[in-house]
Structure 1
């Protein structure tokens, strides 16, 4: 039955490759994905999807395929890009630019593979909509914006996703990464970390750089915050727990001989359990406030938690069911176990919001020989990974594998003859 549905891939493979190249060449930043959304909506309608609705959660697109009584199964793909200048040298490389949320003109690139995610979901939707005799139930096809901001899934839920459309019994999603093309990577339980971001402003008193005694230096406070935070993971988090604290932004001043009034920091924390997440948030605030006091700050620091994504949990029981189907379709030799990843994904918001399981997996997009050579040389970090200006999955077999994985996973949860 699965092979009968997937057999239709041969007839649409070249068209899907053209779609992928088009999306890759025309990336759009989070919540600016207007062209991409229009392209995807038109593709869904052409595939025979019963209902297609745009502008869900700002720029999201939702498709519904109704095929009689049976379970509702959700397939999700994200489709936003990043402010990265592409350096792949591909003939369809992006030269796009856009104005970001801060009003800055930035280059734009699909440096995380979301263009591949979207093309694969269009492929799976086309196959499943064209083979309705092979299954019963309802497909909920969700193209989510703004994954890179960590707010896209929540935005769609808050816009009534599960009130306006059928609520699923399971949420299925995938992510392409620096694994060998054609291989599926899997985990169970927490597979990606929670992410929390904190904006901090430290307040001092400006003055001339030659007279530090007449000023209160917020740059020195910020420097102590940066170094002190590195001790949180090393000395407060149990060694068996996964945790990361990163200061990715430190901005202060305009000239080398002027002590500024304020310094700003952007801090990001990653964790996989709620207890560690609570510890990191509390310790980060404690360190910032303590260093402000130690530095003689003119007033308390400003702290604003600006983004929050829960840990992505791939439900163990549902994952085992889906994985068994993958083994049956792809063969055990193409299935790879993976440890938890400290990066984050907001797809878990969907299932968490309505209390249904999420199943999430990874699949490879890099040349197998290249990955093997890097592994043998102990240079895996040299491989182009997600968010790199050099990251661009091989079109094949990456595209076919992603389409098949979504299709097989959906058929696992729909009613079949």
Structure 2
């Protein structure tokens, strides 16, 4: 049974301190660095993370977790039951991106056109490190720990797929009382950024197909040109943000793909546009999506098309919302461990995440924070010169590769401290400590 109240809070004064649990980290760091470099060399796309999942399962089994594999194809969970107390879920995503690496590192991706350009290799390594320390230090806490390795975050499908596969409904794991996760970001390593409330945007990726009537490029009057139709749409759709959304509502509409035709002198039958929409409010989201559909149809009608555009939703992420109580209590532990100067508040990001689905489905609070991963001196130099955008690669860049230290160290420490802030101290009726260091709970 959980000891949280209706807000998800627990008695902070009674929480286990992380110092004793974190003591073995220095001895384990070389192994974690090797693991990280290996994962970085071998990136796998969403729902293809078989190698990564196998390594996660192997390590969790060795640490004494009850492990379930193959959830939604490649998802892995480990459960460590350690007496009465709350159920805390720590989550890491595993998938890479279809990006060709341009880092020049000796452990760069060996897979053409694939790269861990968003740092999910950092996430997996840090969670395995924290899972190891928390298992070894189970004499210092009580409760149930779930560590979850999720596929396909980049396409917005992984968390939903694991839930649909029965993560909670079939009892693959106990229903958590709290969900905790982190994401490496392009600011100075050794720092943690946080954002209360809505911290990441909802995202909808759409594919719109404009249908025309093709023909010879020398006789455009005999055709209905879908390229002109779609190009007009691409320009006009930016008016949604500029003229239909209030300044206080943060919205981003980005066209990222435009495909039509194969040669210079043939007008094709269709043009395909892909775009993403980022919003923070459900009413605004609905209005923006309706406006996009209206403009697409209007441009087709203006061109004389005899067929309306077709729209397919490629993926959809909900707004990621941090629970204020959980954020405050975990940040207290971060402050004790790292010092107040290492934490800073951050504006809501227009990037998107699906970790919140794991919390929403459980009716549990979520805390999702950002972990600095860039060389601190390089970051400060770029910041002082006003050149962050030019000099510091962002997530999804072919040059986005976090520094190994102190990124991994702080990532492991942060996940461990966050878990301990929500778990309970050792049960008072625990027996003598076993030889393996675990509490013999009766």
Tell me the TM-score range normalised by the shorter chain.
over 0.9
Q: In the aligned structure 2, how far is the partner of 1:246 from the partner of 1:298?
A: 27
Alignment of 1:186-335 (within 5 A): 186-335=194-343
Q: In the aligned structure 2, how far is the partner of 1:310 from the partner of 1:5?
A: 34
Partner of 1:400: 409
Partner of 1:153: 159
RMSD (Å) for aligned C-alpha atoms: 0.9
Partner of 2:138: 132
Mapped contact 2:229–2:303 kept (Cα < 8 A): yes
Alignment of 1:105-144 (within 5 A): 107-144=113-150
Partner of 2:10: none
Partner of 1:348: 356
- Residue-pair matches, total: 407
Q: CA deviation at 1:241?
A: 1.2
Provide TM-score, normalisation by structure 1. 0.96
Give deviations 1:166-222, integer Å, cap 9, x for gaps: 010110000001111111111111111110011111111111111111111111100
SS in 1 for 2:105: coil
Mapped contact 1:48–1:130 kept (Cα < 8 A): no
Q: In the aligned structure 2, how far is the partner of 1:279 from the partner of 1:8?
A: 53
SS in 1 for 2:168: helix
Q: Which moved more, 1:62-71 or 1:318-327?
A: 318-327
Partner of 2:67: 52
Q: CA deviation at 1:298?
A: 2.0
SS in 2 for 1:24: helix
Mapped contact 1:233–1:243 kept (Cα < 8 A): yes
Partner of 1:410: 419
Partner of 1:9: 25
Unaligned runs of 5+ in 2: 1-16, 427-442
Q: In the aligned structure 1, how far is the partner of 2:380 from the partner of 2:242?
A: 33
**Which residue of the other structure, out of 101, 111, 120, is the alignment partner of 1:96?**
111
Q: CA deviation at 1:11?
A: 1.7
Q: In the aligned structure 1, how far is the partner of 2:351 from the partner of 2:421?
A: 28
List structure 1 segments (4+ residues) > 3 angstroms apart after TM superposition: none
Mapped contact 1:71–1:169 kept (Cα < 8 A): yes
Q: In the aligned structure 2, how far is the partner of 1:125 from the partner of 1:118?
A: 10
Partner of 1:41: 57
Whether 2:80 is the aligned partner of 1:65: answer: yes
SS in 2 for 1:200: strand
Provide TM-score, normalisation by structure 2. 0.91
Q: CA deviation at 1:388?
A: 0.8
